[in-house]
Protein backbone atom coordinates (compact mmCIF):
# COMPACT_ATOMS: atom_id res chain seq x y z
CA UNK A 1 0.00 0.00 0.00
CA UNK A 2 1.06 3.42 -0.76
CA UNK A 3 0.46 6.35 1.64
CA UNK A 4 0.25 9.86 0.34
CA UNK A 5 2.36 12.35 2.20
CA UNK A 6 0.50 15.46 3.36
CA UNK A 7 1.24 18.34 1.10
CA UNK A 8 2.91 21.53 2.43
CA UNK A 9 -0.06 23.55 1.10
CA UNK A 10 -2.54 21.69 3.32
CA UNK A 11 -0.33 22.18 6.39
CA UNK A 12 -0.26 25.96 5.77
CA UNK A 13 -4.06 26.03 5.44
CA UNK A 14 -4.43 24.26 8.81
CA UNK A 15 -2.05 26.76 10.46
CA UNK A 16 -4.02 29.71 9.08
CA UNK A 17 -7.29 28.29 10.39
CA UNK A 18 -5.75 27.78 13.86
CA UNK A 19 -4.29 31.33 13.95
CA UNK A 20 -7.63 33.09 13.40
CA UNK A 21 -8.94 34.89 16.48
CA UNK A 22 -12.29 33.77 17.82
CA UNK A 23 -15.14 36.10 16.89
CA UNK A 24 -16.52 37.92 19.94
CA UNK A 25 -20.20 38.58 20.09
CA UNK A 26 -21.07 42.14 21.03
CA UNK A 27 -24.19 44.22 21.00
CA UNK A 28 -24.56 46.61 18.07
CA UNK A 29 -27.08 48.76 19.95
CA UNK A 30 -27.22 50.21 23.47
CA UNK A 31 -30.12 51.98 25.14
CA UNK A 32 -29.75 53.65 28.51
CA UNK A 33 -31.86 55.50 31.06
CA UNK A 34 -30.56 57.55 33.96
CA UNK A 35 -31.84 59.71 36.77
CA UNK A 36 -30.74 61.33 40.01
CA UNK A 37 -30.10 64.54 41.86
CA UNK A 38 -28.55 67.54 40.18
CA UNK A 39 -27.02 70.87 41.15
CA UNK A 40 -26.59 73.93 38.91
CA UNK A 41 -23.20 75.60 39.33
CA UNK A 42 -23.90 79.18 38.20
CA UNK A 43 -23.19 82.05 40.62
CA UNK A 44 -25.98 84.17 42.05
CA UNK A 45 -25.40 87.89 41.58
CA UNK A 46 -24.49 89.98 44.64
CA UNK A 47 -27.15 92.50 43.54
CA UNK A 48 -29.89 90.03 44.55
CA UNK A 49 -31.47 90.63 47.99
CA UNK A 50 -30.77 88.05 50.72
CA UNK A 51 -34.40 86.84 50.79
CA UNK A 52 -34.46 86.30 47.06
CA UNK A 53 -30.95 84.74 47.16
CA UNK A 54 -32.25 82.00 49.47
CA UNK A 55 -35.19 81.39 47.10
CA UNK A 56 -32.85 81.23 44.10
CA UNK A 57 -30.45 78.83 45.84
CA UNK A 58 -33.29 76.33 46.26
CA UNK A 59 -33.83 76.43 42.48
CA UNK A 60 -30.25 75.25 41.93
CA UNK A 61 -31.04 71.76 43.27
CA UNK A 62 -33.29 69.52 41.23
CA UNK A 63 -33.80 66.23 39.46
CA UNK A 64 -31.77 65.17 36.41
CA UNK A 65 -32.94 62.47 34.03
CA UNK A 66 -32.01 61.32 30.57
CA UNK A 67 -31.93 58.65 27.91
CA UNK A 68 -29.54 57.67 25.16
CA UNK A 69 -29.34 55.33 22.20
CA UNK A 70 -26.06 54.22 20.61
CA UNK A 71 -25.23 52.23 17.48
CA UNK A 72 -21.79 50.58 17.59
CA UNK A 73 -20.32 50.46 14.08
CA UNK A 74 -17.19 48.78 15.48
CA UNK A 75 -16.76 46.69 18.59
CA UNK A 76 -15.35 49.61 20.59
CA UNK A 77 -16.75 52.69 18.78
CA UNK A 78 -20.24 53.99 18.24
CA UNK A 79 -22.40 57.04 17.61
CA UNK A 80 -25.72 57.95 19.11
CA UNK A 81 -28.19 60.46 20.42
CA UNK A 82 -28.49 61.72 24.01
CA UNK A 83 -31.28 63.54 25.83
CA UNK A 84 -30.77 65.15 29.26
CA UNK A 85 -33.11 67.27 31.36
CA UNK A 86 -32.94 69.15 34.67
CA UNK A 87 -36.06 70.19 36.54
CA UNK A 88 -36.46 72.23 39.72
CA UNK A 89 -39.24 74.21 41.34
CA UNK A 90 -39.74 76.54 44.28
CA UNK A 91 -42.50 78.70 45.63
CA UNK A 92 -42.84 81.35 48.31
CA UNK A 93 -45.09 84.10 49.59
CA UNK A 94 -43.34 87.43 49.18
CA UNK A 95 -44.02 90.90 50.50
CA UNK A 96 -42.84 94.04 48.74
CA UNK A 97 -43.78 97.59 47.95
CA UNK A 98 -45.15 98.85 44.67
CA UNK A 99 -44.30 102.16 42.95
CA UNK A 100 -46.87 104.01 45.16
CA UNK A 101 -45.26 102.75 48.38
CA UNK A 102 -48.12 100.35 49.13
CA UNK A 103 -47.19 97.03 50.74
CA UNK A 104 -48.12 94.14 48.46
CA UNK A 105 -48.13 90.43 49.30
CA UNK A 106 -48.21 87.72 46.63
CA UNK A 107 -47.14 84.23 45.66
CA UNK A 108 -43.97 83.63 43.70
CA UNK A 109 -43.53 80.27 41.96
CA UNK A 110 -40.93 78.97 39.51
CA UNK A 111 -40.87 75.69 37.56
CA UNK A 112 -37.57 75.36 35.72
CA UNK A 113 -36.98 72.80 32.97
CA UNK A 114 -33.66 72.73 31.09
CA UNK A 115 -33.38 70.21 28.23
CA UNK A 116 -30.55 69.12 25.96
CA UNK A 117 -30.56 66.80 22.97
CA UNK A 118 -27.52 66.14 20.84
CA UNK A 119 -25.23 63.67 19.08
CA UNK A 120 -22.57 61.67 20.87
CA UNK A 121 -19.53 59.54 20.08
CA UNK A 122 -18.98 56.53 22.35
CA UNK A 123 -16.17 54.15 23.16
CA UNK A 124 -16.34 51.03 25.28
CA UNK A 125 -13.68 48.76 26.70
CA UNK A 126 -13.74 45.04 27.36
CA UNK A 127 -11.95 43.34 30.23
CA UNK A 128 -11.13 39.66 29.84
CA UNK A 129 -11.42 38.91 33.57
CA UNK A 130 -14.42 40.63 35.06
CA UNK A 131 -16.97 39.96 37.75
CA UNK A 132 -19.87 41.92 36.28
CA UNK A 133 -21.16 43.06 32.91
CA UNK A 134 -20.40 46.60 31.81
CA UNK A 135 -23.06 48.62 30.00
CA UNK A 136 -21.75 47.41 26.66
CA UNK A 137 -23.89 44.29 26.40
CA UNK A 138 -21.15 41.66 26.40
CA UNK A 139 -21.94 38.20 27.68
CA UNK A 140 -21.11 37.87 31.35
CA UNK A 141 -18.47 35.45 32.53
CA UNK A 142 -18.10 35.23 36.28
CA UNK A 143 -14.68 34.12 37.39
CA UNK A 144 -14.05 32.47 40.72
CA UNK A 145 -11.57 34.32 42.93
CA UNK A 146 -8.87 32.08 44.32
pLDDT at 65: 97
DSSP state of 135: T
CA distance 67 to 81: 9
- Confidence at 51, pLDDT banded by 50, 70, 90: confident
Q: What's the chain's average pLDDT?
A: 79
Q: How far apart are CA 55 and CA 93, in angstroms?
A: 11
Mean pLDDT, range 131-140, rounded to an integer: 46
Report the distance separating Cα 94 and Cα 16, nearest Å. 81
Instruction: State percent of the chain over pLDDT 90.
Output: 38
Q: pTM for this structure?
A: 0.61
Amino acid sequence: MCQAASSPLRNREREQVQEQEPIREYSKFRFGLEGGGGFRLGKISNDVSDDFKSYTKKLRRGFVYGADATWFFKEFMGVGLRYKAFSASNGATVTGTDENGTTVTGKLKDNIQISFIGPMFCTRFFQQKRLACPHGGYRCRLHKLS
